[in-house]
Amino acid sequence: MNLWLILAFTALAQCRYQQKGANSCPDMCSCSFPPSGAEVECSHGSLTHFPDGLPPNTTQLSIQTTNLSSITANHLSAVPLLTNLQLYHNNLTSLPSDLLSAVPHLDTLDLTGNRLGHLPPSVFSHVSIRGLVLKNNLIEKADALWFSDNSSLTWLDLSGNRLTSIPGALLQKLPNLVNLDLSHNNLQELQPDALKNLLHLESLNLAGNKLIYLKPMTFAHNLKLSQIFLQENQLQDIPPTILQGLQHLKLVLLNQNLLQHLPTGLLDGSRPSFRAILTQNPWVCDEKIEYLWRWLNVHPQNVIFLEGVTCAGPEALKHRQVVSLTSTELGL
């Protein structure tokens, strides 16, 4: 047989072998192969180990609702082009500190709904990750050592854990953060200047914690804030200047707290697009409610569920809508 013909057959066989490898798909997974790279989803409940035979050009990998209990850097070395890794609702209890060292292009990591309690230092410092979701785990302490200095992270979700505090040293390492979700933890207070370095922060979720009070300068450096979620806490008072300077603010949720009055000036200067939810607070409708009463009457369009802002007392006004009261009834 002609030597050139043999070489041609050999090259064709190699090409077909490589193509088959690139388009292979592990058992208990489904794969698609767009030009941007393979996308793999593994969601079989009986999956207990990291899948073998992943396409080497995989850019998106989702392993969800399985019994996967461990994952290592060696596993991820099979997919060096990975940009999006979703590992939610599995059985992971720990992560190795070098886990992400084999995926330098990783942009988003979602670990929602595992059983992670303690995470090792430097675990997220090997990549320029921008989105990190640790929602609904068992984390009791957030550690500044997780991240390298000047992290590229823009979105951090630690909601649904067991945090009692959030260290300022951690947030200082995240100057590019735009979205921070700390909802449904056990936070009782924010450290002074905890948010000071978050100059690009636009959305802050502190709902469902045990916050009793916020310091007047809590948001003083977060001038890009557009959404603040403070519902389902134990706030009894709000500093009158806490929202001062937040020219981009569009939404504040204060429902389900222990507020009896709002301080004069709190909502002054609100933009026409601003919205607030104030329901399910024990509003005391006496002369101290005057500021809230006047603001509701002037800005009813800025209040979501306006009819739900009702008096808890005194007894004669109980269940009345605050906006419906008269100056005589308030003793003004």
Its pTM surpasses 0.85: yes
d(CA 62, CA 110): 9
Q: By CB neighbour count within 10 A (0-12 exposed, 13-18 middle, 19+ buried), where does 244 fall?
A: middle
In this prediction, residue 192 carries a pLDDT of 81
pLDDT(1) > 90: no
What single letter denotes the amino acid at residue 94? S
Domains identified in the chain and CATH numbers = 259-332 (3.80.10.10)
- For 102-161, the pLDDT digits (tens) are 999 999 999 999 999 999 999 999 999 999 999 999 999 999 999 999 999 999 999 999
- For 187-245, the pLDDT digits (tens) are 999 988 999 999 999 999 999 999 999 999 999 999 999 999 999 999 999 999 999 99
- Written as six digits, the tokens of 92 are 């992971």
- For 56-80, the pLDDT digits (tens) are 999 999 999 999 999 999 999 999 9
Query: Is residue 213 within 8 Å of residue 189, measured between CB atoms?
Result: yes
Query: Is residue 180 within 8 Å of residue 204, measured between CB atoms?
Result: yes
Cα dihedral across residues 48, 52, 55, 58: positive or negative: positive
pLDDT(171) > 90: yes
Using pLDDT thresholds of 50, 70 and 90, give the confidence band for residue 180: very high
Residue 167: half-sphere exposure toward Cβ, Cα within 13 Å: 11
What mean pLDDT value characterizes the chain?
A: 93
d(CA 228, CA 250): 9
Measure the CA angle with vertex 180, ends 175 and 183; round to 5°. 150
Look at phi and psi of residue 65 and say left if phi exceeds 0, alpha if psi is from -120 to 50, else beta: left
Using pLDDT thresholds of 50, 70 and 90, give the confidence band for residue 13: very low
